[in-house]
Structure 1
Amino acid sequence: MEQVRIVSVAKQLPKHHRKTSDIIPFVNLWLSGQEDRFRRKVVKIFEGAGVDHRYGIMDIEEVFTATSFEEKNDIYVREIKQLGEQALQKALIKADWKAGSLDFIITVSCTGIMIPSLDAYLINTVGLRNDVVRLPVTEMGCAAGVSGLIYATNFLKANPGKRAAIVAVESPTATFQLDDYSMANMVSAAIFGDGAACALLSSEQHVEGPKILGEEMYHFQDATHLMGFDLTNTGLKMILDPAVPEVISSHFPKIVHPFLKKHGTSIEKVDHLIFHPGGKKIVRTVEELFGKLGKNIDDTREVLRAFGNMSSVTVLYVLERFLEKNIKKGEQGLVLSFGPGFSAQRVLIEW
């Protein structure tokens, strides 16, 4: 079986950014027609979300302006193309690869709609080969960054000596619903931010980077109601069940232990936890489960604090932090994210 390695990860930040403290006046203005108690509760959610700062493809005034789905999606399409190209170029420079050397491109996004998908545009703007294999991944939400790693790994295992790129670009702010006063919309507005990232993987010999020891998906039965979007006339309306952290917690032993055992290791032997920060509650849930083992998820918490939850992109920001550390040979990392379905996606890596 061919060895697959993660060669580089690069992030690209959207052009607009704000501290959460600067967003709260806009939230107060937006909710000024609502009951005072409700408004105060929402402000508390923003203040307690564990997100200090976030980036956006639109300025804050645009986010809080009533526009049609078409207008918001037009901004999404324009900005996603740019961010995707910048993230891919950055990762290629880091790896010292030419764009034409890529054999497989996966693009990941669930926060807008574009056909043809982003990868088709990247073929032209970045100069990919005309026989490059394309795979757009659209409906997997927060888990899709890891889904992309899984698809790329499977492709590369079957094709020795090849190269793959995963380009994830998300704009949850483009899905923000001005007329939706549900808790799902409030909580997602408080935790989400926009971002882009690219990961490059290879099945060539003599490449540097952590190798992938195993990859697997885990699907929760009868849990399609937990997370997703409803497509409405005003855009993509967030579905977010408050039971998510609790459900994750109850499945956690089944998600982690059999997977690690299958690959000849255990949670005790995993040195680095590379987790998608779904939100403060999920971070706390994971911490409670692993804190006793002396493991920390400081990088996960730090990415949430500095950028918010950027859906599929977020776990790649966490992964980039680990690739920039001086990690000893032989140490293992567990990459994990959760998303609609409901599902957990896992990748085991070794330096």
Structure 2
Amino acid sequence: MVKIKTVFKAVPGFSRSTAEILPFLDRWLSGQDERFIRKVKKIFENAAVDKRYSFMSPEEVFSTSTFEERNNIYIREGIKLSTTCLSGALKKAKWLATDIDFLITVSCTGIMIPSLDAYLINNLNMRQDVVRLPVTEMGCAAGVSGMIYAKNFLKANPGKRAAVISVESPTATFQLEDFSMANIVSAAIFGDGVACVLLSSCEEDNGPEIVDEGMYHFVDATHMMGFSLTNTGLKMILDIEVPESIATHFPAIVRPFLEKNNLTIKDIDHLIFHPGGKKIVEVVESLFGVHGKNIDDTKEVLRLYGNMSSATVLYVLERFMDKKPNKGEKGLMLSFGPGFSAQRILLQW
């Protein structure tokens, strides 16, 4: 039996409300057509995001800083915040850093070699035989993916413990000279954040059990989401067909996975869904709504923090963990990412 012991988050030091971002848009869009400027502002105002956190100040985000300079900030702040986050999770669980047998780090918004896990091992004086796995290039789905990898390791190794740390800085990928809808929409919905999940196959540890997990891959959909590596950094690829494609595939993503466990959507008490953006949230809300279910916590995380790529669903999970659901209640974790793919986890408290 593999259980989730705890979830812990860390937010970057810089933050701005949507209203505070608008003056920066005025300077960025100076010289553009007035109708276009109004349209961009509307996108920000209607993104269902009230506040965004960032590894960088707004002045740095909207500056001509180079890919190297932004990536260096991503590395520096990523190491610092992930160390704080893992330390906080261990303290919350009353574990020691040396209790961790398997260390998974998740990120797609910067480049770091050695990978983040190497720095965590040194910063927290972890064991020299801890197993490392950096998960990159899986985008928003990687938070759930990392948990799936941890679950499989722990299932094969009873009496062990694992940490999954997600570190994301989408604001570091903002392209100053790119006025495409993909760059604008991503700037409107994304924010930065760090989260850590501790998992265990030790009998003495409690928490919701991971009953089942699975991945679902869309065919011929590699064009829908991702990054292009350019001279100015990671340039967002975001196809307008993403929400509609999710709606089309939704029955195949959810129903067979639940049926395999002799369940239907009606049997799920808690929907722990990754808030990809307002349109995706609306699509999923309508699909679950016909079954009398809500994704209010997903919408609240989007409002408070924006989409932090792989870390976001872990922020949603933390909200449910802190509510301490009743014994026997079930939860469905669901996230989407480049590939295109869906990642699913079935939980039982």
Q: Shorter-chain TM-score category?
A: over 0.9
1:262 aligns with one of 254, 260, 263? 260
Alignment match, 2:297: 299
Aligned to 1:6: 4
The equivalent of 2:31 in structure 1 is: 33
**Secondary structure of the equivalent of 1:268?**
helix
Is it true that 1:110 corresponds to 2:108 in the alignment?
yes
The alpha carbon displacement at 1:266 in A equals 1.4
Per the alignment, residue 204 of structure 1 pairs with: 202
Secondary structure in 2 matching 1:209 = coil
Amino acid corresponding to residue 296 of structure 2 in structure 1:
D
Cα distance in 2 for partners of 1:175, 1:114 equals 15
Work out the number of aligned pairs and report it. 349
Alignment partner, residue 71 of structure 2? 73
- Indicate the residue corresponding to 1:156 in structure 2: 154
**Equivalent residue, structure 1, for 2:90:** 92
Offset at 1:264?
2.0
Amino acid at match of 1:13: V
State TM-score, norm by structure 1.
Answer: 0.99
1:309 counterpart (307, 310, 317): 307
Alignment of 1:155-234 (within 5 A): 155-234=153-232
Q: Secondary structure at the match of 2:177?
A: coil
Q: Deviations over 1:307-330 (max 9, x none)?
A: 000000000000000000031100
Moved over 4 A (4+): none
For residues 282 and 90 of structure 2, the distance between their equivalents in structure 1, rounded to whole angstroms, comes to 35
Q: 5+ residue gaps in structure 2? A: none
1:140 aligns with 2:152: no
Residue type matched to 1:32 in 2?
S
Instruction: Determine the C-alpha separation between the residues in 1 that align with 2:327 and 2:309.
Output: 30
The aligned counterpart of 2:55 is 57
The whole-number CA distance in structure 2 between the counterparts of 1:180 and 1:242 is 17
Q: Could you tell me how far apart the structure 1 residues matched to 2:325 and 2:250 are?
A: 26
Distance across 2 between alignment mates of 1:339 and 1:24: 29
String of CA shifts for 1:96-147, please: whole Å, max 9, x gaps. Answer: 0000010000000100000000000000001110000000001000000000
Query: For each residue in 1:279-309, what CA deviation from the matched residue of structure 2 results, as whole angstroms up to 9, or x when unmatched?
Result: 0001100110011111010000000000000
Aligned partner letter, 2:205:
V
What is the alpha-carbon distance in structure 2 between the residues aligned to residue 314 and residue 79 of structure 1?
Answer: 18
Tell me the percent identity: 68
Distance 1:117 1:47 in 2: 36
Separation in structure 1 between the aligned mates of residue 134 and residue 324 of structure 2, nearest angstrom: 33
In structure 1, the gaps of 5 or more residues are none
**What letter matches 1:40 in structure 2?**
R
Question: Once the 2 structures are TM-superposed, how far is the Cα of residue 207 of structure 1 from its aligned partner?
Answer: 1.4
Relative to the length of structure 2, the TM-score reads 0.99
Secondary structure of 1:51's match? coil
Deviation digits for residues 136-159 of structure 1 (CA, Å, limit 9, x no counterpart): 001000000000010000000000
Deviation of 1:29 (Å): 1.2
